[in-house]
Structure 1
Amino acid sequence: MVLPTTLTAKAIKLCAAMLGASGASLPASFPIVVTSGVHLTDAPQNAADAEATVRDLIALGADFTAGPLAINGRDFATYGVTPRSAFDPCALARIDGSFDPSLRRIAPTVSSVTALLRQAFGARITDTIRPTNATYGARYSWHKVGQAIDFVPAGGVGAIDRAQIRALLASHQLQVVELLGPGDPGHSNHWHVAFAQPGQISDDPRRIEGDEDWIVDVPNMEQKQRLAAAEPRSAAQKTPQSVSAAPPTWDVFATAQWQAGQGGG
């Protein structure tokens, strides 16, 4: 079971703020608002107290909301939220009813990242792996090495922003090496995200050709060489063949032999 797309998007944003690019964590908070059934005298000061309070409220049948997303206690079972995960935005970003923080890392593969985008944003996937000799798109594309996904969120391309995409991947310990969307040429109607493999570094921005005509990062030199080697050579690059002069027209046998050598009949 998953949260609605709007709540998941909010959880991703909060998770990004908690993780922080600088590594500094935001102070934890444990908001609980009781609207009926009981009276809450003291606000919990730590995670253990917050979890215990929510468990008591559920047992007493109280009407309340809890956590940074203010999820109603009646909806916990529907969304697979637990008294612990209710206060953890990163857990809520991928809630499946059996969340374990140790499972937050996922493998950097097209299939795993595709599943993540579908779950978080209700994404419709429009492109993944392309052949290395594809004539469409960018010449040096992350799609050609199986590290890029094009998608459209369930609410449309404007339903999410770059920060939410980065936060989602960061919350699962995935590094974004390329992110294109509205505002980038050729990407007004979809999002394009490329992810790194472990230990991979990309710091070679450049202009490229094709319908994806601006790329923030491109494959490293080893990948470029592999892609270039796989591309068919153009007619201008083919090794020229020696062309012999035609024999005199009166020499019938020599002319026939020359025409056969030139592919003629």
Structure 2
Amino acid sequence: MRFRCLDYSAGALQYPPAHVSLKAIACGTFHNLTLATGDPLEEEDLEAASQASEDESSGESEEKPREKHGEDVEADVWNLQGGEECTQERIDFQLSFDKSESKSCSQRAFKIIFYEDRNFQGRHYECNSDSADLSPYFSRCNSIRVESDWWVIYERPNYMGYQYVLSRGEYPDYQRWMGFNDSIGSCRSYPHYRGGNYRMRIYERPDFGGQMMEFMDDCPAVYDCFRYRDIHSCQVMDGYWIFYEHPNYRGRQYFLRPGEYRRYGDWGGYNSTIGSFRRMRDF
């Protein structure tokens, strides 16, 4: 729905500023109610509401325009769905509804909390979605709480640098997530894997060449199983996996989801050395 508030020739308001503001408020209120109820108006209802609003404005134009406050505003705000005046009680209800919805969404949405100091002290930032740049929110990170899902956090913005894979729990200092420093620049979330199967193939050479082995379970020492210390490519068929630079799940971490990785750079690796890997689960 649109209201013509500007004259076609000179760009001047057709109605007094106060009336134009009321139309904008009414449109916003109607928009919120429509989103909340999921019940949009039919086209004929919109035309009737628009005509009713214009009829009222033409009647008001005969009087001297004046600023409106308090009860005057209440009388001019329209319920566009039925052409009836909104009472202050209805307006208050809508405002309280919007606030309660916003509050409940914020309470249940955030999934990870970053703290600048150890033991969950200092300034903190609550995050509920992927973020390519966390630098505006904190300068360092020494402890983390993960409320739900799995998260991959990165040392630098744009998902670059060291990777750290975190499951739900508390991390009072960065050594707990095997961090190399207190720098966190970006993060991504992943829902828990609901499937029961994990399956991955690793290859001796790039582009799935050379010796190949298929795994369905954790591997604490790649050389003992594969007889090679390097993995140049892999295919993840089922589940999420984590590569580690050294045996026994130590060193740099690399997160892998289902897909093809033709070279070690595809999973963010600095070289092809992989000492261990395991399925991504709640550790």
Q: Relative contact order (C-alpha < 8 Å, sep 6+): which is higher? A: 1
TM norm. shorter chain > 0.5: no
- TM-score w.r.t. length of structure 1: 0.24
Structure holding more helix per residue: 1
- TM-score w.r.t. length of structure 2: 0.22
